[in-house]
Chain A
Amino acid sequence: MAGAVESSLVSEDTSGTEAVAAGVVGIAAILFGISLGSMFELLSITDPIAGIPMVALLGTLLTLLGLGVIGFGLGSRFGYVATDPRPSAGLVASVAFSGIWFAVGGLVASQSFGLGTVGWVAVAFVTGGLAFAGTALPREDIGSTLPVGVFAVFVGVVFLTGVIGPSWVWDLGWEQQASFNAEFSIPVITAFCSLLVSWASAKAYGGFGARGRHVGAYLLVYLNALSIIAVLFLLVAFTVFKGLPGLFNGLTFGLGSGPETTLFGFTFAWPFAWPFVMNGVALLNDVNGVLPAIVGTIWLVIGAVVFAVPLGVGAAVFITEYADRGRFTQVVEVATNGLWSTPSIVFGLFGLAFLVPRLGNGKSLLAGMLTLGFMLLPLVVITSREAMLAVPDEYRDASAALGVTKWQTIRSVVLPASLPGIVTGIILGVGRIAGETAPILLTMSGSVAPPGSQTVDVIGGFSFTSSPPFVSNPELLQATSALPYQLYSLITAGVGQSSNIANIEQFRWATALILLVVVLSFYAVGIATRYYFRRKLQHE
């Protein structure tokens, strides 16, 4: 039997092979890092690293990797390395490798040898079939290393010989003249190869068999998670990097250097001047800023939350605690889920057609708040309902057995226990609405590059009047700007180019960064609140 290698409980000294396998995985990880870096233009494939041209370096490393993996497979097959392989590498690996080799064969036949459709398809089938047989038929140690190793060596040689070099372009020949250039292709191919090879060498490191498969899967899962986190981090880092110069333009410290602010009747001067977040856009400003949009966004979110949370939680209390579970609650559930997936522009249109004419017949902060509140409402209902359903019935029984009424039970037991869940829902919802552009565009947009004097002052605008409704706050009915909307207009509509913003590119990125910071601040507040309520519920 092919796979019958005696396996013992304690394996022989394998430190040597493990070191080699770890080295191979290490090289693969380096390659993966380089390719990720060059995909995000942190590294350029035309620049040499330590005097060696990048493509040549990649090619050499790939060839080495391929040879290393092949060596592993052969070493294991001929008994130089103690492993525990299965009789076959398995169907999934066979299909995957045959797909890779199908593509390689087809590409070589059509691109290098210029064969026609029939020719390249035939070659592709031959290479694909060979790879399938080469993976499925031999023992696992050969099947899961040889096709991968040969592929890596092949790619390495292609890079080294310059068949694919820094100036290589693959024209797809489509109507749109789309093409892949080397800047993009080489990192992608390298990353793919290094993933494959590191999987194969991780399997070898685990000695094939069940343990090898476990190690291989472990590596793939970890690399996947790491690269997702890396991509997200790069995304944020990119924005921060691009936004910082514009953000801190003209920042000065010193007592009384900042503008004067009046809050609740107290007037004070900020001890620093930060033009980008303290100014609007005006002709006389040294440095222009986005203060009106920041304040607009903050009030918008506060208004939407104040409007949606009591209503949403109330609705959730009704459908969870009072309404009998049945057709009615099902319909409500489907409807709320549907509302949550409704595109925001539809909410915006509703706001424009229904709210705007009824609220002073003009776009206004209040209309925007209510529209976003309507958007937030379904998520608050859904998550509050989930949170209340998760409160154990034992609490309700215990409370009822003490003779406490249903409403008192809800207020003092169910709601406190479900607060962390409700807050989670609000966090998610705020994350979505704070970045919404379409509803703002339709319901509250003011001027696209507002001067500082157009900053809404909701607290200061409040006053008592002698006739009903006895209060007035004209600021609520003023059209105002918000960060996503300002960003949108700065980028797409080309607004600002003609106005007096000095460096429009810097200004855009700084606006994007401020939007990110404002949204993340709301997140932070939400998470801190949730943490506080959790602490109260748990035994600490």
Chain B
Amino acid sequence: MSKTSQTTEDETKRTDQPLEVTAGETREQTQDEWTDYDFESQAKFSVEDLDVYYGDDHALKGVSMEIPENSVTALIGPSGCGKSTFLRCLNRMNDRISAARIDGSVELDGEEIYQDGVNLVELRKRVGMVFQSPNPFPKSIRDNISYGPRKHGDLETGFLSNLLGRSDEDEVDELVERSLSQAALWDEVEDRLDDNALGLSGGQQQRLCIARALATDPEVLLMDEPASALDPIATSKIEDLVHELSEDYTVVIVTHNMQQAARISDQTAVFLTGGELVEYGDTDQIFEDPESQRVEDYISGKFG
């Protein structure tokens, strides 16, 4: 594709957007302007005025953004800018840190997840998560995949179920095959489903973790730098996978790697030091013509 046509395409895209920066206006945007940003698809998450404190440390400052459904949203920014913290707010993993305090509102499909009576089990079933370093359980591949559904009581296996004739072993097999195929791992591990998952390579382990997260049939997949511990080949496999998954799932991915964000995401949110969301919009726009000078400096490598 020639460079000119790309630019034209970008320009057309931008004219569609309601938020047009007119000439003469300052390039520095205020946050309110682009939180109204109207994506084509419906908002899966809408976050409003989210503040996170770790003790006295104000880790996230008044972040508001909407994450559209069935697309890939990348969160980029330098270390310590709060992008992982933001990600962990979306499935309330920050609750596990006793020093963390969270203010503001996060809505999933219009339902507030930070209110009394939220069922964390249900929330995390709907919002799956993949971590930075692959962390399969020291169990067999099959047990890793079926772990979530079994613990949720969706599948019955084991001695007693067998005895009562209620065993769902066939469904387990089906689930394992489906999840592993979705994570593009089935062909590689088909013959050794009962081997320990720790015997897989790093990239395979990470795809197993993705398969494990998919097994609970989530709507959203949060990924915290899923490829940072992997080699380039494994990384490209994960990237392809993310791309495919975005057809059926809402993917939110934190990454340090700006090329990766540019390659795989539909929207990009840039967090900069201090826990602020500085800019959020279409990936092409963020990378080619960012509104904010700070973002431009960061992306071009002058800062961060």
Q: How far is the CA of A540 from the CA of B209 in the complex (A)?
A: 20
B34 close to chain A: CB less than 8 A: no
B196 and A540 form a contact (CB under 8 A): yes
Task: Provide the residues of chain B in CB contact with A403, threshold 8 Å.
Answer: 120-125, 148, 151-152, 216
Tell me which residues from 378 to 425 in chain A have a Cβ below 8 Å from any Cβ of chain B.
392, 394-395, 397-405, 408, 412-413, 416-417
Q: How far is the CA of A398 from the CA of B133 in the complex (A)?
A: 11
Closest residue of chain A to B134 (Cβ to Cβ) is: A394
Task: Provide the residues of chain B in CB contact with A417, threshold 8 Å.
Answer: 138
Q: Give the shortest distance, in Å, between B252 (CB) and chain A (any CB).
A: 13
Please judge, given known A-B contacts A398-B137, A402-B216, A538-B138, whether A412 and B147 are in contact too, CB under 8 Å: yes
A537 close to chain B: CB less than 8 A: yes
Q: How far is the CA of A454 from the CA of B114 in the complex (A)?
A: 68
Proximity string of chain A (315-331) to chain B, C-beta cutoff 8 Å, 1 when within and 0 when not: 00000000010000000
Closest residue of chain A to B132 (Cβ to Cβ) is: A394
Task: Provide the residues of chain A in CB contact with B199, threshold 8 Å.
Answer: 539-540
At the interface with chain A, which of B5-13, B18-26, B42-50, B91-99? B91-99
B133 and A400 form a contact (CB under 8 A): no
B234 close to chain A: CB less than 8 A: no
B131 and A404 form a contact (CB under 8 A): no
B262 close to chain A: CB less than 8 A: no
Task: Provide the residues of chain B in CB contact with A413, threshold 8 Å.
Answer: 137
B198 close to chain A: CB less than 8 A: yes
B195 close to chain A: CB less than 8 A: yes
Output the residue of A392, A395, A404 with the most chain B CB within 10 A: A404
Please judge, given known A-B contacts A405-B121, A539-B199, whether A400 and B96 are in contact too, CB under 8 Å: yes
B198 and A538 form a contact (CB under 8 A): yes
Output the residue of A408, A413, A416, A539 with the most chain B CB within 10 A: A539
B148 and A402 form a contact (CB under 8 A): yes
Proximity string of chain A (496-540) to chain B, C-beta cutoff 8 Å, 1 when within and 0 when not: 000000000000000000000000000000000000000001111
Task: Provide the residues of chain B in CB contact with A392, threshold 8 Å.
Answer: 135
Task: Provide the residues of chain A in CB contact with B98, threshold 8 Å.
Answer: 324
Task: Provide the residues of chain B in CB contact with A416, threshold 8 Å.
Answer: 138-139
Task: Provide the residues of chain A in CB contact with B212, threshold 8 Å.
Answer: 398, 402
Q: How far is the CA of A403 from the CA of B124 in the complex (A)?
A: 5
B138 and A397 form a contact (CB under 8 A): no
Task: Provide the residues of chain A in CB contact with B131, threshold 8 Å.
Answer: 394, 397-398, 401
Q: How far is the CA of A395 from the CA of B139 in the complex (A)?
A: 11
Proximity string of chain B (194-206) to chain A, C-beta cutoff 8 Å, 1 when within and 0 when not: 0111110000000
Q: How far is the CA of A510 from the CA of B198 in the complex (A)?
A: 48
Tell me which residues from 82 to 98 in chain B have a Cβ below 8 Å from any Cβ of chain A.
91, 93, 96, 98
A404 and B135 form a contact (CB under 8 A): no
Task: Provide the residues of chain A in CB contact with B135, threshold 8 Å.
Answer: 392, 394-395, 397-398
Task: Provide the residues of chain B in CB contact with A399, threshold 8 Å.
Answer: 137, 147, 151
Q: How far is the CA of A493 from the CA of B139 in the complex (A)?
A: 55
B129 close to chain A: CB less than 8 A: yes
Task: Provide the residues of chain A in CB contact with B172, threshold 8 Å.
Answer: none
Q: How far is the CA of A324 from the CA of B139 in the complex (A)?
A: 28
B281 close to chain A: CB less than 8 A: no
B195 and A539 form a contact (CB under 8 A): yes
B128 close to chain A: CB less than 8 A: yes
Q: Give the shortest distance, in Å, between B183 (CB) and chain A (any CB).
A: 15
User: Size class of A's contact patch?
Assistant: 20 to 34
B93 and A402 form a contact (CB under 8 A): no
Q: Give the shortest distance, in Å, between A45 (CB) and chain B (any CB).
A: 57
Q: Tell me which of A394, A397, A412 contacts B96 (CB under 8 A).
A: A397
User: Size class of B's contact patch?
Assistant: 20 to 34
Q: Give the shortest distance, in Å, between A344 (CB) and chain B (any CB).
A: 37
A401 and B124 form a contact (CB under 8 A): yes
Q: How far is the CA of A401 from the CA of B127 in the complex (A)?
A: 8
A395 and B125 form a contact (CB under 8 A): no
A402 and B133 form a contact (CB under 8 A): no
B124 and A398 form a contact (CB under 8 A): no
Please judge, given known A-B contacts A394-B131, A395-B137, A539-B199, whether A400 and B124 are in contact too, CB under 8 Å: yes
Q: Give the shortest distance, in Å, between B291 (CB) and chain A (any CB).
A: 34
Please judge, given known A-B contacts A401-B91, A401-B93, A403-B152, whether A538 and B137 are in contact too, CB under 8 Å: no
Q: Give the shortest distance, in Å, between B141 (CB) and chain A (any CB).
A: 10
Tell me which residues from 32 to 70 in chain A have a Cβ below 8 Å from any Cβ of chain B.
none
B213 close to chain A: CB less than 8 A: yes
Q: Tell me which of B93, B147, B151 contacts A397 (CB under 8 A).
A: B93
Q: How far is the CA of A416 from the CA of B147 in the complex (A)?
A: 14
Closest residue of chain A to B122 (Cβ to Cβ) is: A403
Q: How far is the CA of A112 from the CA of B125 in the complex (A)?
A: 90
Q: How far is the CA of A400 from the CA of B197 in the complex (A)?
A: 19
A539 and B152 form a contact (CB under 8 A): no
Task: Provide the residues of chain A in CB contact with B137, threshold 8 Å.
Answer: 395, 398-399, 413
Output the residue of B96, B98, B138, B209 with the most chain A CB within 10 A: B138
B151 and A412 form a contact (CB under 8 A): yes
Q: How far is the CA of A395 from the CA of B137 in the complex (A)?
A: 6
Closest residue of chain B to A402 (Cβ to Cβ) is: B148
Task: Provide the residues of chain B in CB contact with A408, threshold 8 Å.
Answer: 151
Task: Provide the residues of chain A in CB contact with B128, threshold 8 Å.
Answer: 401-402
Please judge, given known A-B contacts A397-B93, A408-B151, A537-B138, whether A402 and B124 are in contact too, CB under 8 Å: yes
Q: How far is the CA of A403 from the CA of B96 in the complex (A)?
A: 12
Q: Give the shortest distance, in Å, between A34 (CB) and chain B (any CB).
A: 51
Q: Give the shortest distance, in Å, between A514 (CB) and chain B (any CB).
A: 39
Q: How far is the CA of A398 from the CA of B151 in the complex (A)?
A: 13
B residues contacting A by CB (< 8 A) are: 91, 93, 96, 98, 120-125, 128-129, 131, 133, 135-139, 147-148, 151-152, 195-199, 209, 212-213, 216
Between A and B, 28 residue pairs with Cβ closer than 8 Å are: A324-B98, A397-B131, A398-B131, A398-B136, A398-B137, A399-B147, A400-B93, A400-B96, A400-B124, A401-B129, A401-B213, A402-B124, A402-B125, A402-B212, A402-B216, A403-B120, A403-B123, A403-B125, A403-B148, A403-B152, A404-B121, A404-B152, A405-B121, A408-B151, A412-B151, A417-B138, A539-B199, A540-B199
| Known A401-B213, A403-B152, A539-B199; further 7 A-B contacts with Cβ < 8 A | A324-B98, A398-B137, A401-B129, A402-B125, A402-B128, A538-B196, A539-B197
